[in-house]
Amino acid sequence: MVKIISTILLVLFSIVEISAQEIARVEFKEFDSQFFPFKRPVLVYTPEGYDECTQSDYDVIYVFDAQTRSHFDEVHSLLHFGIQQPNNDRQYIVVGVASPTHLEINYCRNNDFLPVPRNWKMETPYYGNLNQFKQFLTKELIPYIKKNYRTSGHSLAIGHSLGASFVIDALTTDNMFDDIIAISPNFAWDNDYYSAKIINFDFADNRPRFIYMTMANEGLDNDILGFPSQWRESWNEVKKFCVDKSLPKNITLKIDEMPAYSHNEVVLPAHLLTLKQYAEYRHEPVFNDDKLYPVHIELSGSSVDGDVYVTGNQPALCDWDPNGIKMTVVNDTIRVLDINLRLPAEFKFTKGSWDYCYYIINGDSGNIRISSPEKAKKYYKTN
């Protein structure tokens, strides 16, 4: 009997240990939106160690058409397994935005993504709710994510087909996202409505942006799905504009073709290609602006002794010279630094050389940074 009880206790302790491990999780939420007569389902992925890394803030990636769960799962899985290069282990919050799939409510994804057409007469009821969908995002969902999760203030939107057309519209019309990945967008809808969004967009603002657009075989000879020639013609017009356009240095604009894949097949290879490039882009992020912001950085722990230095991604932090800016001694276990920095500021703590860097236990190793002036006080802990 004693042996049986001991075995049961051992199993229970094992279960407790497993449940306490740091693992990524996906939360399912439903929003009773004031803009719709039905609930809006949303998935939220938070990465491994999110709960423990209380001093880390995360970029947010919004994935549309998450009613097709694979779109959402591919993004958070690829970003956090194998797509990033060594020494580039930045993690992200990923939000899956689903559209209704029950046609009995007379509403589907097209309603979310399409405005009322100006030039086309459409018999189908599945269009025209674009503005309500945008209001749901800007007044309910995005504020909720910012309030309830530790976000950096930087966002990426990913869409496919009409979802790709939508993220182009949300970027160019509403400045809703910093960056977009648009996979096989329909530029031709309503007499080139979406191609005009890109061609007439003001790229000259000071906001750093990553804009990636890719197309599959729509309208080519191997397109067995029979997409109309206008689809390809409108894409070619946008492609020519992007190739010829002279862009500010803060804009990263990439345009690509993947003609070996059909309209639906292209999603996975496009995710593989574009997310890898986006991870490289965010590995060394462009400064938000030229301004200097006051920041407070604190390091505490029993191993904090002697001189401690902060070094990082700008001259004010000695441009990654390990013998960087010496922190002020508060007591035997606490060092502080108050300084004005450009944001996002990335940094590490050293004892004056790369032979000893402090390991941060309440911050993601790929995310020791200050991204926004609203979250410019950081209290890091080490062993």
**Per-residue pLDDT reduced to its tens digit, 156-167:** 999 999 999 999
pLDDT at 213: 97
Report residues of the chain scoring pLDDT below 50: 1-21
pLDDT at 179: 97
What is the sign, positive or negative, of the torsion defined by CA atoms of 312, 317, 319, 320?
A: negative
Please, what are the domains in the chain?
21-283 (3.40.50.1820), 293-381 (2.60.40.10)
Give, to the nearest 10 degrees, the angle between helix 162-174 and helix 189-199.
40
pLDDT at 87: 60
pLDDT at 82: 62
On the CB side of 124, CA atoms within 13 Å amount to 13
**Per-residue pLDDT reduced to its tens digit, 243-296:** 999 999 889 999 999 999 999 999 999 999 999 999 999 988 889 999 999 999
Measured between its terminal Cα atoms, the distance across the chain in Å is: 42
pLDDT at 171: 95
Q: How far apart are CA 380 and CA 57, in angstroms?
A: 13
pLDDT at 335: 98
Tokens linked to 232: 């390809």
The pTM score is 0.92
